[in-house]
Structure 1
Amino acid sequence: MNITGKIYGINGPIVYLAGNQGFKMGEMVLVGEEKLVGEVIGLNKKETTIQVYEETTGLKPGEIVYSTGSAISVTLAPGIIGNIFDGIERPLKEISAQSGAFITRGVSVDSLNVEKLWDVHITVKEGDKIYGGTIIAEVPETKAIVHKSMVPPEVQGVVTKVAPDGKYTINDPIVTIKLANGEEKELTLTQKWPIRVPRPTAKRYASDRPLITGQRILDTLFPIAKGGTAAIPGGFGTGKTMTQHQLAKWSDADLIVYIGCGERGNEMTEVLEDFSKLVDPKSGNPLLDRTTLIANTSNMPVAAREASIYTGITLAEYYRDMGYHVAIMADSTSRWAEALRELSGRLEEMPAEEGFPAYLASRLSGFYERAGFMHNLNGTEGSVSIIGAVSPQGGDFSEPVTQNTKRFVRCFWALDKSLAYARHFPAIQWLTSYSEYVSDLAPWYTSNVGGDFVDCRNQLLSILTQESQLNEIVKLIGSDVLPDDQKLVLEIARVVRLGFVQQNAYHPSDTYVPLAKQLKMMQTILYLFSKSKQLIALNMPMSVLKAEDIFDKVISIKYDVANDELHKFDDYKTMIDNFYNTIMAKNA
């Protein structure tokens, strides 16, 4: 390390050095006697500006700042899955063992265990020409994930030496290659990557297949594609975290990266405890076997909070490059934006709307644009899907973070506090939510689920929209004056809301619903609607139809028909036919 400057000014997490002593923009530095981690964020002739990722209390002018020569980077190697990191990839368990419940300033720990021996299977041989992305070794990282160690993207050469299969640490050389300039380079299981630079890929694919979540309102009404982006905005208590828990547990992603960005400490503790207890329903292994957690609570330094989502997305891109489908749960981007605002204020930058910096939109776009379904450098396919929670103050969706997020995501799952207070979960408001992926995914649904899936989905949304319009009339003049065909719409809409849109996360048959059952449920509801419309057209009053309990029986399908009992839907079709025939016979 070279001594490169002395501190002359401190403003919270922002530190100033006099002059430009040879730093590079974005370079990682070690600040002061305690070697606090920082990053160069501003350079001019008069001063160098550094943001510090740790508490700066006690730091004083005159202390030395040391250069590291590299950007803020993460260590990429076996040991990431199942681990819990802070915002700059420091393992919290190791820090806890070293310094107790709170992170000590200047604490220095390796991001990953450098002493653990891993079972390594080498996948290349001498004479092979390898390039960025080539898989050189496979390591069983957990029961669920095989870690595929790759050549760093900028490296290529010919293999000259290969270690035998066996047990190695992440820093032991396993392959030696000869570069184009004749030099030899040793490759290990480890590589470093700067968090603010997207990892390169060969090609981006169109969004043509869904991320299946098992949540009916998401899979059917507002689907997200693999490699897609979604926002979950909602006020306090509306179920953002619970929705992300369900997605982490049930979505068909291979890996989950959960970023707790600026959340309350007790809430983050609950998340960490919950995830450690959850069992992956697909494999029966602990859910942590395919999850990595980044915990950056609201009492941690704001600069590290700002870095946390870049750390998370870089880890996700690394596993995407192996050919995995990764889903990121960012909870919440509002707290991240607040960190940006605080740092911007310290830097005395010109504020924009509500005090947020003018570059809020570009930072949000830079984050969400790193999602995608990719053709990787090594020929595999992988994806990163980003699901970001937004916490607008007072539930006001017109505030800048929500509005700017809407510009860059194609899926908007708006949580509604009135639904949450009525115990209707997921509390996603179907009138204000939308998905721009529906038309892209329609061919997939047609070929893999059923030709009428999208048509049924559109009909259900139409019924819910009609219900909203009719409720405006009911508020003014009451429901008794409505004609029977409109009363039927209200009743079927109730069936859709309670029997399809509402879902019980704690019921074994309802917590996860496969697409085949979702289609059968829609077809059953719409068949009941069709038969009831025929009766109304024959002047049968709605009161006669409601006297039969058919509507409540259809609502209870979600509990009464297990996911592997789809044959029972034939019984419901027969039941609806009997309902129709009974009323016709009574009124003949």
Structure 2
Amino acid sequence: MSKTAEIYGINGPVIYLKGNTGFKMSEMVYVGEENLVGEVISLKKEATTVQVFEETSGLRPGETVTASGDAISVTLGPGILNNIFDGIQRPLSVIAEQSGKYISRGMQVDSLDTEKLWDVHITVSEGMEVYGGTIIAEVPETESIVHKSMVPPNIHGVVKSVVPDGKYNITQTIAVLTLEDGSEYELKLAQKWPIRIPRPTSKRYPASKPLVTGQRILDTLFPIAKGGTAAVPGGFGTGKTMTQHQIAKWSDADIIIYIGCGERGNEMTQVLEDFSKLHDPKTGNALMARTSLIANTSNMPVAAREASIYTGITLAEYYRDMGYDVAIMADSTSRWAEALRELSGRLEEMPAEEGFPAYLASRLSAFYERAGMMQNLNGTEGSVSIIGAVSPQGGDFSEPVTQNTKRFVRCFWGLDKSLAYARHFPAIHWLTSYSEYLGDLSYWYSENVSPKFVEYRNRIMAILNSESSLMEIVKLIGSDVLPDDQKLTLEIARVIRLGFLQQNAFHPDDTCVSLEKQFKMMEVILYLYKKCRALIAMGMPMSVLKKENIFEKIIAIKYDVPNDHLEMMDDYKKAVKDFYNTVMEKNG
């Protein structure tokens, strides 16, 4: 029989139950006559505290709270992809059919379609010993992804009986196991898992492969590894969401989990509309065929916002267990931290810096620690990469969420307001950003792109750093007084900024660029720099070099060289050589 208790006090999404209720910590409960979903967050002998994931207006003391017996969990099975959920994994399409545009309170809907029949190919046989993670069936979930149903991590037994290949729904028994204690356990296509507990793995690997995004400033200057963590901090309008969109569209991850946590409704609408129209360059199918969206907009209850991050990471870990590389876009962790702050305030906890709870850092670290390249229980390898947007108020990177996030991520892509207002996108500033993965990935770059890739990258960064130092002088006394070699540094830095770092998301060849093209672009720019330096060393003034229009020609490479005709890059190296000879002849 379910345990029940009566509401004693209500404070927004937080409710209090008097007495020793017998509830368990983190247990899911149903609150009031409308069965609102909640979670136990504090237990004392004399009182129990529950956070409610739905609007609590109209709730009154004396109403009943019923325990479910389980922790708040997600259903893991076929049907997650090409779907849109709210923060506690309720499918929005089903809710829309039942309650219209807005989510009615107390909506009880199945997370996944229990009626739909899937084509199931069984991969186990009678008498076979199976462990947690063993793949029992394969289902073509979408045109792009084969779903692999697994034995839950904590189960070990021998297959007693198994159904033949055929069409089954997620509630039908696929196989029956005899466990070590002699009891029987029914395996289905779907399983449940508590969202706050990481799914177990066999081994964690160090970073060794990059998550290739097709964005030059990310792949070349500040790469993220598969299984890595990155923060994208920036003020309003600097392009956090669009940067995440580009990575979601073009990165070489197998699965994308996009969490809209506390963002504006119109932004989430844009995501939904964009993703449903896009074609996946990897598979040729719709991008949504390998994407799942969790929409938790700013007008939804704050407690569900806090839960949505954990819902998303649990879905990602499930697909990682199948051997897929998963990328999570969390937009934005600042809104999640604000939800923590609001709930902490209502619980009357001691506030820390800027009113955030003292446990903000530990919650952030626990979230980012769930990323990684892993060996799964079934022997496959998979990864979860987390790219979290941070929205510091007023673009102030010294506030607690940004500073604590920096402690736990190894990749920091700092967006700059002045670049965004100058229409330089992506507006990631090369002086405030960094990646600690470069050393880990240098071997991969030398083996798979070129042994000179990291060397060229470092030389590009050195030029940009020199430009920054020179600009301080230029601001004071103007550029005319600089010697020609320093004027050249400024001009090459301009070529790098406009021709390499700036990228046009609406141009078919520039929206996504292969690592090979990125390397060849660096090669041409550095070759131009070498030839120009040689001319200046011979006494040629910078004004003569600018007359030949070679700098503008190199900037235009990103548009003029199609991604499938990289042999044209040799023509640009020849053009630089011809430019060198022409200047020598004219001024020799």
Measured against the shorter chain, the TM-score band is over 0.9
Percent of aligned pairs with the same amino acid: 76
1:5 aligned residue: 5
Q: 1:487 maps to what in 2?
A: 487
SS at match of 1:55: coil
Deviation at 1:242, TM superposition (A): 0.7
Alignment match, 2:178: 178
Q: Which amino acid is 2:447 matched to?
A: S
| Structure 2 counterpart of 1:467 | 467
Asked whether the equivalents of residues 3 and 64 of structure 1 are also in contact (C-alpha less than 8 Å), the reply is: no
Aligned to 1:385: 385
Report the Cα offset of residue 19 of structure 1.
Answer: 1.3
Per the alignment, residue 67 of structure 1 pairs with 67
Question: How far apart, in 1, do the equivalents of 2:297 and 2:454 lie?
Answer: 41
Q: Is the 8 A contact 1:129 1:158 kept in 2?
A: yes
Aligned length: 588
Task: Tell me the distance in 2 between the aligned counterparts of 1:43 and 1:371.
Answer: 30
Equivalences for 1:25-44 in 2 at 5 Å? 25-44=25-44
Write out aligned runs for 1:439-518 (5 A): 439-518=439-518
Q: Deviations over 1:478-527 (max 9, x none)?
A: 00000000000000000000000000011111011000010000000000
Question: 2:210 aligned with 1:207, yes or no?
Answer: no
Measure the CA separation in 2 of the matches of 1:27 and 1:3. Answer: 11
State the SS of the aligned residue for 2:96: helix
Query: Deviations for 1:306-348, whole angstroms, at most 9, x for unmatched residues?
Result: 0000000000000000000000000000000000000000000
1:358 aligns with 2:362: no
SS at match of 1:2: coil
Q: What is the CA distance between 1:21 and its match in structure 2?
A: 1.7
- Checking the alignment, whether the CA contact within 8 Å between 1:207 and 1:440 is kept in structure 2 is yes
> Match for residue 339 of structure 2?
339
Report the CA distance between 1:150 and its aligned residue: 0.1
The answer as to whether partners of 1:416 and 1:428 remain within 8 angstroms in 2 is yes
Q: Find the aligned partners of 1:274 and 1:249 in 2 and give their Cα distance.
A: 10
Q: Distance in 1 between matches of 2:274 and 2:582?
A: 50
Contact 2:16 2:47 (C-alpha < 8 Å) held by counterparts? yes
Q: What does 1:512-527 correspond to in 2, within 5 Å?
A: 512-527=512-527
Question: Distance in 2 between the 1:574 and 1:303 partners?
Answer: 61
Which deviates more from structure 2 when the two are superposed, residues 558-567 or residues 292-301?
Answer: 558-567
> When the two structures are superposed, what TM-score results if normalisation uses the length of structure 2?
0.99
Matching residue's letter, 1:120: V
- Which residue does the alignment assign to 2:189? 189
Q: Write the distance in 2 (CA, Å) between the matches of 1:412 and 1:3.
A: 47
Query: Given residue 459 of structure 2, which amino acid in structure 1 is its aligned partner?
Result: Q
Q: Structure 1: where are the runs of 5+ without partners? A: none
Q: State the alpha-carbon separation in 1 of the partners of residues 57 and 12 from structure 2.
A: 8
Deviation at 1:476, TM superposition (A): 0.3
SS in 2 for 1:220: helix
Q: What residue ranges of structure 2 are gaps of 5+ in the alignment?
A: none
In structure 2, what residue type is equivalent to 1:577?
Answer: K
Tell me, in whole angstroms, the C-alpha distance in 2 between the residues paired with 1:386 and 1:500. Answer: 25
Alignment of 1:549-564 (within 5 A): 549-564=549-564
Answer yes or no: is the 8 Å Cα contact 2:250–2:512 preserved in 1. yes
Contact 2:78 2:170 in 1 (8 A): yes
Deviation at 1:585, TM superposition (A): 1.2
Q: Deviations over 1:90-145 (max 9, x none)?
A: 00111111111111111100000000000000000011100000000000000000
Alignment root-mean-square deviation, CA: 0.6
Report the alpha carbon displacement of residue 4 of structure 1 after superposing the two structures with TM: 2.1
Q: Is contact 1:321–1:376 with CA below 8 Å preserved after alignment?
A: yes
Q: Which amino acid aligns with 1:180?
A: E
Q: Which runs of 4+ in 1 moved over 3 A?
A: none
In structure 2, the residue matched to 1:289 is: 289
The answer as to whether partners of 2:3 and 2:22 remain within 8 angstroms in 1 is no
Instruction: Tell me by how many angstroms 1:284 deviates.
Output: 1.8
Q: Please identify, of 267-276 and 9-18, the stretch whose mean Cα deviation from structure 2 is larger.
A: 267-276
Give 2:571's aligned residue. 571
Distance 1:265 1:422 in 2: 27
Amino acid in structure 1 at the alignment position of 2:547: A
Matched, 1:130 2:127: no
